[in-house]
Amino acid sequence: MPIMSWKFTRRRLRIGLDGNSPLMEKEVCVARVDAYKTKSGNTRFVLREDEGNEYTTFREAIARQAVAAEGRRARIEFHEQQRNGFTNVYLDGVEPLEEDDGEHRDADEAAWEVAVEAAPWLVGTREPDQPIPAKELFQRLKPFQEEVAEDIRRDGEE
């Protein structure tokens, strides 16, 4: 965990004292980062995590960090702010995390590996007489891969 600078600590204290929630941290899988032009001409960047939560920032430096973490796990810093009866969630920092030797592998990637290993049984023979067209092989493997990926996700939630 990096040592916090005085500026960062002061910002965290200020956010906590002005009636809004203090800075929070969370490890997420960054699904994507979108950019939108506002009516005033500014650019609003929205980080979407794999669980569907959204975090907003107007700072380009933070948006660049978020884009660098797309499709990967990252530690994000954010705070919530109440405005006109709505809760806005603002992104304050993004730190891409190193992969943990496959512990947090994508469920789809792991499922494809299982499907490829099971291909001889799904096709019906280890040594087919004729090559199987790629589309036909894909059509046989894809439903199996989807089922395995769903099982992996369910096990991860328990």
Mean pLDDT of the chain: 82
CATH number of 6-96: 2.40.50
pLDDT score at 105: 59
pLDDT score at 41: 93
Residue ranges of domains in the chain = 6-96, 107-157
Contacts of 110 (CB under 8 A, 6+ apart): 148, 149, 152
Check pLDDT > 80 for residue 2. Answer: no
Asked if residue 69 lies in contact with residue 96, where contact means CB atoms within 8 angstroms, the answer is yes
* Mean of pLDDT values over 35-48: 95
pLDDT score at 134: 82
- The more confidently predicted of residues 123 and 7 is 123
Cα(44)–Cα(90) distance, integer angstroms: 11
Contacts of 64 (CB under 8 A, 6+ apart): none
Cα(90)–Cα(96) distance, integer angstroms: 18
Q: Would you place residue 18 in the very low, low, confident or very high pLDDT band (cuts 50, 70, 90)?
A: low
* Mean of pLDDT values over 122-136: 78
